[in-house]
């Protein structure tokens, strides 16, 4: 079974600075998807960024980028120029490649990000 681990329960960053959230996972498969979701106090899960394991290039979305290290099974999220609105819980998630039973997301325990003005 796949597992996802987020070793940082809480992180803090100064507004406009850069912060990196860590995620490691365990799988025996070679092809899969990785995601970072943001969950503000409203509870709504919002997709931040996704990475296909077969792609060597790290995904980027504006201020958000990932460092995907497939051999190390590591998938960290970097947030540049942090804004107050970035404060939320961040969840790393894994998903199998196959489009059949087993399409669910496996989530890590989350990291609470606080942004200081």
What residues make contact with other proteins under the rule CB under 8 A? 4, 6, 33, 37, 42-47, 50, 52, 91, 93, 95, 97-110
Using the minimum distance from each CB to other proteins, give the nearer residue, 81 or 97: 97
Based on CB atoms, which residue is closest to other proteins, 43 or 117? 43
Residue among 18 and 54 whose Cβ is closer to other proteins: 54
Q: Are 70 and 63 in contact (CB under 8 A)?
A: no
DSSP line for the chain? --EEE---SEEEEETTS-EEE--EEE-S-SSEEEEEEEE-TT---EEEEEEETT--SPPEETTEEEEEETTTTEEEEEE-S--GGG-EEEEEEEEES-SSS---EEE---EEEEEE-
**17/26 with CB nearer other proteins:** 26
- Least distance (Å) from other proteins to the CB of residue 41? 11
Tell the smallest beta-carbon distance from residue 107 to other proteins (Å). 4
Q: How far is the CB of 65 from other proteins (least distance, A)?
A: 18
């Amino acid at each position: 079974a796949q597992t996802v681990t987020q070793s940082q329960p809480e992180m803090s960053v100064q507004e406009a600075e850069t912060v990196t959230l860590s995620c490691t996972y365990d799988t025996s498969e070679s092809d899969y998807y990785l995601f970072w979701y943001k969950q503000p106090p409203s509870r709504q899960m919002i997709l931040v960024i996704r990475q296909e394991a077969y792609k060597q290039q790290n995904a980027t979305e504006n201020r958000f980028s990932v460092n995907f290290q497939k051999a190390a099974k590591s998938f960290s999220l970097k947030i540049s120029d942090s804004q107050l609105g970035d404060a939320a819980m961040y969840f790393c998630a894994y998903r199998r490649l196959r489009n059949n039973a087993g399409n669910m997301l496996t989530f890590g325990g989350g990291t609470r990000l606080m942004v200081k003005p």
